[in-house]
Chain A
């Protein structure tokens, strides 16, 4: 599992090369920029103070 993880503090410009070169690698006009959050962190069935 560890080798799959990415810790982004480690992604220094030095490691990834000049920023301009990387930005050119992005096809900014066709990026999938969906962003989703997980609302289930609060389980509504547990929003019940009645018995606890």
Chain B
């Protein structure tokens, strides 16, 4: 059938692996006879485009124009409102050249065998993070990280969202789409264009692209769907102006509506209006003359998952993701067989009911995907596996790989629910044999009272038993934990941390989040049993709500407790300590080590050794100042700015990570309560090898330069004039700290290599 369809997963999603939505749609459409389906992961394409030397060089020039550091010199104080811009200006000034020089290699490290060398991995990840800071500074106040994209526009107000789609100065995706996406689409001329919007961070980029495509291809029907739109789609489709970006929206799972939409459009003349009222789960704009009417169709029947085709990843750029081996997502089931937790609204996103594929089907599908794409690793997309599946799937997976030794079988990880009767010692051992290397359990809290209120139907004891059985079998255990559930006290939150600490030998990672109330949750519809009063908001797309609790922590106290808990976890869990946390933050990266044969105990020991080595002086030898560094003098402390911006009051003034909300008045409160910075002469340095920022006083900078001129630490100390022993002790202590930060290196042990730099003017004489 000659009916070109294009599907796009829009920025921003994580950059380590593909998402599942488009491959499911492509497979379904192909089964329905639509062979010409192009799927593009524009999120990874955008990351790759932005994180290139050419783009970053342009970003550097933009930052110099938009956020000149000179603007801060000679000031008497720096108020809270200017701290983010100052920090962005300072970091960009000192790091841009080094980031640009190393960005290509950094991506190669993450995509290659060097990924497994922590001394290459961590600087490479930092380089990507700092590259994204440069991209963000070039579009200030927008912020693109590996985990989020936010702008200065509120995500819960349609007027602001639509304005953001037109802001050429702050929206980096407008140029990306024009340069890298639109030309191909114009040439291809799809009749149907689908936007996948799973997260709030994708909303503005999706509508931005929808608008551009509708302008360039008036005959192309632009639709959108995905998890985030299941929450706010109804409101969005009622907002004035959205019809300039979209023609329709699909709610819940997209296969059946997308197939029917393609059939309806392919059977009609592109230039004529089509009646779409029979397509289930579709809300669409009926356009007549100059009028636009929003039409919401009845819900479609859920897909019979057992009969659905396996996802089709053909056409996705599997080599572009920032992982040495791609981890493919695969949906073993949809919905949640348990479905009782009072805080959870995930079943709402996918659609009604619980549906599953048979264990033998799953094993057959992933074996086929392995053979087709040459992959060995999978993340099973599931809220949790029911006990029967925990029993049957391992058998099916092992049977599908006859004669393959345990270590060579396909490896996988997934979310899970505490099922004490299924995750027995024998059950866990069988899961390991079948390739399971990591399970993430919903733990939430160590307080039985709260667990009952959440209707989790689990006890802390059962969590410990399941975690022990899995850990003993060699499966790494991650716990999801929550802080701030209504009525939770400070003591109860600390009990959660204490539980994790007491079980740190079997719990390797924790995904901690603060509690939020969205409009779909039971707790929103029925707040009384939870002792809360839900506050109304005024954003027309508002999904999340503030609330007042009759007892327990306030939302502010919960935000502060989040910090306390996170600090405790970072202190006690080796994978969370220091820079090791990057493994946790990059989706499957820790899993890839497990899949390669490293045991959780071995990985934890490596992390612990690395953290310890950074806290102790390095070996003696010929210590020299690391020549691969750059510096910039600052009129205010960069660290003080960063610390102020880390204050919960300051964080509240930024859109929340999970919800994307701008909390009302938070900026005003932060400006009133957080004191401005006093002037302070500081020097910000950037270690071009470790890719770390370090701040010194001008004295510290002079001392480092003096070590340079002396030719080494020993030579510098020998040449000192008679000096009080206390001063010598201070200097050697300082040198030890510099060594830990990579600014002093033992050249006898590991020769320092200098990266090229452009000659620049000399600093003022000391």
Contact = CB atoms under 8 A, between A and B. Distances in A.
B706 A37 contact: no
A31 B700 contact: yes
A8 B706 contact: no
B724 to A, nearest CB: 6
A5 B632 contact: yes
Interface stretch (B102-110, B245-253, B579-587): B579-587
A40 B632 CA distance: 19
Interface in A1-52: 1-11, 13, 15-16, 18-20, 22-26, 28-29, 31-52
Contacts of A19: 706, 709-711, 715-716, 719
B519 interface: no
B142 interface: no
A34 B511 contact: no
A16 to B, nearest CB: 6
Contacts of A25: 766
A2 to B, nearest CB: 6
A36 to B, nearest CB: 4
Contacts of A20: 719
B657 A31 contact: no
Nearest to A18: B709
Given A5-B94, A19-B706, A44-B566, A32 B697 contact: yes
Contact of B708 (A11, A29, A39): A11
Contacts of A6: 630-633, 760-763
B412 to A, nearest CB: 16
A40 to B, nearest CB: 4
A49 B708 CA distance: 43
B759 A1 contact: no
Contacts of B147: 46, 48, 52
A11 to B, nearest CB: 6
B723 A28 contact: yes
A20 B696 CA distance: 23
Given A8-B630, A51-B199, A36 B759 contact: no
A44 B563 contact: yes
A37 B578 CA distance: 12
B452 to A, nearest CB: 22
Given A47-B566, A48-B658, A33 B697 contact: yes
Interface in B543-585: 562-563, 566, 570, 576, 581-582, 584-585
B340 interface: no
B207 to A, nearest CB: 20
Given A40-B642, A51-B199, A5 B760 contact: yes
A23 B719 contact: yes
B627 interface: yes
Given A4-B70, A23-B719, A35 B734 contact: yes
Contacts of B94: 5
Given A24-B721, A52-B147, A10 B705 contact: no
B527 to A, nearest CB: 23
Interface residues of B, number: 94
Interface string B718-737: 01110110010011011001
Contacts of A49: 440, 478, 511, 584-585, 587
Contact of B642 (A2, A23, A38, A47): A38
A26 to B, nearest CB: 6
A29 B632 contact: no
A25 to B, nearest CB: 5
B702 interface: yes
Given A8-B629, A33-B703, A41 B693 contact: yes
Contacts of B625: 8
Given A16-B709, A33-B730, A44-B562, A10 B762 contact: yes
A38 B639 contact: yes
A40 B585 contact: no
Nearest to B695: A36
A46 B144 CA distance: 12
A50 B695 contact: no
A22 B709 contact: yes
Given A1-B68, A6-B632, A13 B709 contact: yes
A23 B708 contact: no
Interface stretch (B254-262, B296-304, B643-651): B643-651
Interface in B306-344: none
A23 B762 contact: no
A29 B727 contact: yes
Contacts of A13: 708-709, 711
Q: Which of A2, A7, A38 has the most CB of B within 10 A?
A: A7
Contacts of A3: 760-761
B700 A34 contact: yes
B459 interface: no
A8 B212 CA distance: 46
Contact of B763 (A11, A26, A45): A11
Given A11-B708, A52-B199, A4 B511 contact: no
B692 A37 contact: yes
Contact of B93 (A1, A8, A39): A1
Contacts of A42: 581-582, 585
B630 A5 contact: yes
A10 B480 CA distance: 50
A44 B647 CA distance: 12
A31 B711 contact: no
Given A9-B627, A33-B703, A1 B64 contact: yes
B709 A4 contact: no
B511 A50 contact: yes
B129 A34 contact: no
A48 B513 CA distance: 7
Contacts of B199: 51-52
A22 B13 contact: no
Contact of B699 (A18, A33, A39): A33
B468 interface: no
B509 to A, nearest CB: 8
Nearest to B704: A8
Given A23-B716, A28-B727, A41-B126, A10 B706 contact: no
- Please list the 3 inter-chain residue pairs (A to B) with the smallest Cβ-Cβ separation, ordered nearest first: A19-B709, A32-B697, A33-B734
20 contacts: A1-B64, A4-B70, A5-B94, A7-B630, A7-B631, A8-B629, A8-B630, A11-B708, A11-B762, A13-B711, A18-B709, A31-B730, A33-B733, A35-B741, A37-B639, A37-B695, A42-B582, A46-B146, A47-B585, A49-B584
Interface of A: 1-11, 13, 15-16, 18-20, 22-26, 28-29, 31-52
Interface of B: 13-14, 64, 68-70, 93-94, 97, 126, 129, 145-148, 199, 440, 478, 480, 511-513, 562-563, 566, 570, 576, 581-582, 584-585, 587, 625, 627-633, 637-639, 642-643, 645-646, 651, 656-658, 692-700, 702-706, 708-711, 715-716, 719-721, 723-724, 727, 730-731, 733-734, 737-738, 741, 754, 757-763, 765-766
Given A38-B695, A43-B145, 16 more contacts: A1-B93, A2-B760, A5-B632, A7-B760, A10-B762, A11-B763, A19-B706, A22-B766, A32-B698, A33-B700, A36-B694, A37-B741, A40-B643, A48-B657, A49-B440, A52-B13
